[in-house]
Amino acid sequence: MTEHTPGRQDAAALPGAAPANTWRAVAPPRSRRGPRRCVRCRQPAAVELPGQRTAFCPPCYLHHVRQKVARTMAEGHMLRRGERAVVAVSGGKDSLCLWDVLATAAEADATGDAPPLLEAPPAGVYLDLGIGEYSARSRETVERFAEARGLPLHVVAVAEELGAGIPEAARSGARSACGVCGLSKRHLLNRFALAEGYDVVLTGHNLDDEAAVLLGNVLQWDLEQLRRQRPVLEGRPGLVRRAKPLVRTTEWETAAYCVVAGIDYVVEECPMAEGNRHLVYKDLLARLEDRAPGIRSAFHRGFLRRLQPLLEDQLGEQSLAGLQPCARCGAPTTGEVCAFCRVAERLAARREAGDGAEPLSAGADPHPPAGPPPSRTD
Amino acid sequence: MDEDREQRGSRIASGVGGAEGQGAVRVRLRNPSREVSLPAPTTVGGVLEALGLPRASHLVIVNGELVPGEHPLGPGDEVEVRPVVSGGAR
Ligand code: SF4
Ligand SMILES: [Zn+2]
Ligand SMILES: [Zn+2]
């Protein structure tokens, strides 16, 4: 069930209502008795960020996140003036936070209140993964968000492109659900952006996602994956640039942003995520963060500054050399047929052999009959 | 469906609560949805500590709003502890 937040906590957060940008100032020591105060405007604080040793009132908190995202985008050259961006939205806290931040930035740009980032509020693209009730709910949430803010939304159904939704595709092959899901998202977002003429796809990957992936790659010393773990993956023929504007924002911060801004997001976890090792890494990192606030950010930032450039120097060229167009769809790939087309072919073969007895659209119907949600096993 | 959740939540709560009756803070947890009672008075930080949950991966929402860790909690408060962790390999 999505959470219906009764109202936004930043009732005073109208454009122009925020005080001057003084939040960088060091907060004086807090008296034992008084409430903790916002470092930017001295009103009582609502949101504490121990990792950054700071705290904000609701309107200043939204401002803080928006500034951080704008800085991350500018410093990473994620979007150039006049380019068209599309946001990959899932209905979760991260992508809706990102979409809201960008739409707000576009409005501020129009009034000259902020450094120019976008000329118009960006469109969103939702991938329907065909994960039963979960996907149906996610889609509804995204559609409601887009409609309320007048933002353009595109929907791509994985089942139509791949031949089956994620659960069926995972059952029929050697890959895990998240494995098939990840490669389908990359492939279909790229295909969509190419076809529609977008210059960049922005995704909601947050600092915790990146830190967990980093930990996994370090534990395995997977140098090629480490090399590719960047906030921006530049485009090249057949590949649209991909960028992660939330790479410095924790998932606690994106969830808090949604609560404060009154954004209704899907709180429930994807049912396929259970047992995923990245969740274990995230939990370990969160416990570490409680003991040493800021450690996740230092871990990830240090990697990007110190190790990733070395890997790029050493391994960058040889990786580029091996790419050629997929024999089926033309997408750049290292093999003859890309991973997405291989999964699609396997699904088609199974169906022909009468093996995959389920109908093509099993679990993919975005509007299943109303009724109570299937009981969860956790 | 919200009602469905609430009902399940309170059924579980009646079995789990460690501090029934007056002077207890009722806390609603998510994923899966359930409810526990903790002795009052406590604080936002105290709730997470008592439940053994990392602060870095949970929001504590009090009466629909975010509040600092030292915020005191009493029996009348509506408290939700919401995990913020999501996703698999992406
Ligand atoms: S948890 Fe796995 S299957 Fe679910 S949306 Fe994320 S990557 Fe896809
Ligand atoms: Zn403030
Ligand atoms: Zn292909």
CATH of the domain at B75: 3.10.20.30
Among B57, B85, B88, select the one facing A272 at the smallest CB separation. Answer: B88
Which residue's CA is minimally distant from atom 2 of ligand 1? A178
Contacts of A7 (CB under 8 A, 6+ apart): A262, B64
- Contact list, A5 vs chain B (CB under 8 Å): 64
Residues less than 5 Å from ion ligand 3, measured at CB: A 326, 328-329, 331, 338, 341
Specify the higher pLDDT residue, A99 or B2. A99
B18 is a domain residue: yes
Residue A323 CA to ligand 3 center (angstroms) comes to 12
pTM, two decimals, is 0.84
* Cross-chain residue pair B54–A290, CB shorter than 8 Å: yes
pLDDT score for A19: 44
- Please tell me the total count of domains within chain B: 1
Q: Do B59 and A259 touch (CB under 8 A)?
A: yes
User: Using a 6 Å CB cutoff, which residues line ligand 1?
Assistant: A 129, 166, 177-178, 181-182, 270, 272-273; B 87-88, 90
What's the gap in Å between the CA of B22 and the closest CA on chain A? 27
Residue B88 belongs to a domain: no
Expressed in angstroms, the distance from the first to the final Cα of chain A is 15
CB A56 within 8 A of CB A67: no
Return the pLDDT at B1: 38
Residue at A252 is within a domain = yes
**pLDDT tens per residue across all 378 residues of chain A:** 444 445 778 765 444 444 443 333 444 444 455 788 999 999 999 999 988 889 999 999 999 999 999 999 999 999 988 899 999 999 999 999 999 999 998 877 666 655 556 778 999 999 999 999 999 999 999 999 999 999 999 999 999 999 999 999 999 877 889 999 999 999 999 999 999 999 999 999 999 999 999 999 999 999 999 999 999 999 999 999 999 999 999 999 999 999 999 999 999 889 998 878 889 999 999 999 999 999 999 999 999 999 999 999 988 876 667 789 999 999 999 899 999 999 999 999 988 887 544 444 433 333 333 333 333 222
B59 touches chain A (CB under 8 A): yes
Residue B58 near residue A251 (C-beta atoms within 8 A): no
Note whether B3 contacts A: Cβ–Cβ < 8 A. no
Q: How many CB atoms lie within 10 A of CB A192?
A: 19
In sequence order, what are the beta bridge partners of B34? B29
CB-based contact A3 B82, cutoff 8 Å? yes
Which ligand lies nearest to the CA atom of residue A38 in the structure? 2
Query: Which residues is B43 bridged to in the sheet?
Result: B72
- Is residue B32 a part of any domain in this protein? yes
- Is B68 part of the contact surface with chain A (CB cutoff 8 Å)? yes
Cross-chain CB nearest to A267 (options B4, B56, B82)? B82
Does residue B63 contact residue B77 with C-beta atoms inside 8 Å? yes
Is some CB atom of chain A closer than 8 A to the CB atom of B1? yes
Residue A225 lies in a domain: yes
Q: Which amino acid is at A232?
A: V
DSSP B40: S
Chain B residue nearest residue A286, CA to CA: B56
Q: Which residues pair with A124 in a beta bridge?
A: A87, A153
* Cβ pair A267, B30 in contact under 8 A: yes
CA A313 to chain centre: 28
Is A271 within 8 Å of chain B by CB? no
Ligand showing the shortest atom-to-Cα distance for residue A325: 3
| Structure tokens, B20 | 């029934």
User: At residue B5, does pLDDT exceed 80?
Assistant: no
Strand partners, B36: B27
In a domain, A181, yes or no: yes
Select from A231, A229, A241 the least CA-distant residue to A307. Answer: A229
Q: Which domain holds residue A125?
A: 60-268+277-286+296-323
Q: Which amino acid is at A194?
A: L
A-contacting residues of B 6-35, CB under 8 Å? Answer: 30-32
Residue A32 placed within a domain: no
* Closest ligand 1 atom to A181 CA: 8
The set of long-range contacts for A147-152, using a CB threshold of 8 Å and a minimum separation of 24, is A149/A100, A149/A103, A149/A121, A150/A121, A151/A99, A151/A103, A151/A121, A151/A122, A151/A123, A151/A124, A152/A123, A152/A124
Contact predicate A338/A326, CB 8 Å: yes
Which neighbouring-strand residues pair with A241? A200
Subunit contact B85:A182, Cβ cutoff 8 A: no
Residue corresponding to tokens 């740009």: A109
Q: Which helix (H) or strand (E) holds A187?
A: helix A177-196
In a domain, A204, yes or no: yes
Chain B residues within 8 A of A254 when measuring between CB atoms: 84
Q: Are A89 and A205 in contact (CB under 8 A)?
A: no
The reply to whether residue B86 touches residue A181, judged by beta carbons under 8 angstroms, is no
In a domain, B70, yes or no: yes
Domain total of chain A = 1
Peptide bond into B41 cis (omega under 30): yes
Q: Work out which ligand 1 atom sits closest to the CA atom of B90.
A: 7
Residue B23's domain comprises 2-83
User: Nearest C-alpha of chain B: how many angstroms from A45?
Assistant: 7
Q: Are B27 and B39 in contact (CB under 8 A)?
A: no
Q: Is A182 on the interface with B (CB under 8 A)?
A: yes
Residues of chain B contacting residue A7, judged by C-beta atoms under 8 Å apart: 64
User: Residue A107: is it exposed, middle or buried by C-beta count within 10 angstroms (0-12/13-18/19+)?
Assistant: middle
Nearest residue on chain A to B49, alpha-carbon basis: A290
What per-residue confidence (pLDDT) applies to A275? 77
How would you classify the pairing of strands A200-202 and A85-89? parallel
How far off is chain A from B21, nearest CA to CA, in Å? 28
